[in-house]
Amino acid sequence: MSLRTALLIASAGLLIAARAASAAPSSATATFAGAASETGSATLREGPSGVLLHVELAGLTPGWHAMHFHEKGDCSDPKFASAGAHINHAAPKSPHGLLNPQGPDFGDLPNIFVGADGKAQAEAFSALVSLSGAGGRPALLDADGSAIVVHASPDDYSSQPIGGAGARIACAVIKAAP
């Protein structure tokens, strides 16, 4: 085998490896549908140790609101029950709450703050999930997908089952970015 042939074979191998790596999406987007006037969008980017989330929302009641990753990519129900519970361990399930000594569950995220104009811009980082299973963390883009859900009230980060967050007021299905 000539050196040139060996290099060609090696570079073909690199090309295949690069293709395989790029098959897993490195980013995702989500568009919010609201129970009332809520609208917005989100982008999610995969980092080496978790997912960076950017959200922009409008039409919400001012104040603090809980936001979580829910287990199904389905916002079709008017009250967003179709999004299921929080993303969680298969078994045993971990209690909810970023400040719960037995928690958190994999869907937990910090609260967002909505200003007097009904708008919120926020970023959050979760080291508990991945887009496609990186690091063995639960994949947001799994077979039944996932959703970002915003609640009526803030999350107290410890009480069960959802930190007192109340009704679901906006929901966005997470989709792989093209």
d(CA 52, CA 150): 17
By C-beta, is 115 or 161 nearer to Cu ion? 161
Helices (H) and strands (E) in the chain, counts: 1, 9
By C-beta, is 124 or 134 nearer to Cu ion? 124
CB of 174 to Cu ion, least distance (A): 14
Q: Which residue has the tokens 């950017």?
A: 54
Cβ atoms of 51 and 125 within 8 Å: the answer is yes
Measured at CB, which residue is nearest to Cu ion?
A: 68
Q: What is the contact surface with Cu ion in residues (CB under 5 A)?
A: 68, 149
DSSP letter for 83, please.
G
By C-beta, is 88 or 130 nearer to Cu ion? 88
By C-beta, is 11 or 61 nearer to Cu ion? 61
Cβ atoms of 107 and 69 within 8 Å: the answer is yes
| Per-residue buried b or exposed e for 84-105, using 16+ beta carbons within 10 Å of the residue's own CB | bbbbbeeeeebbbbbebeebbb
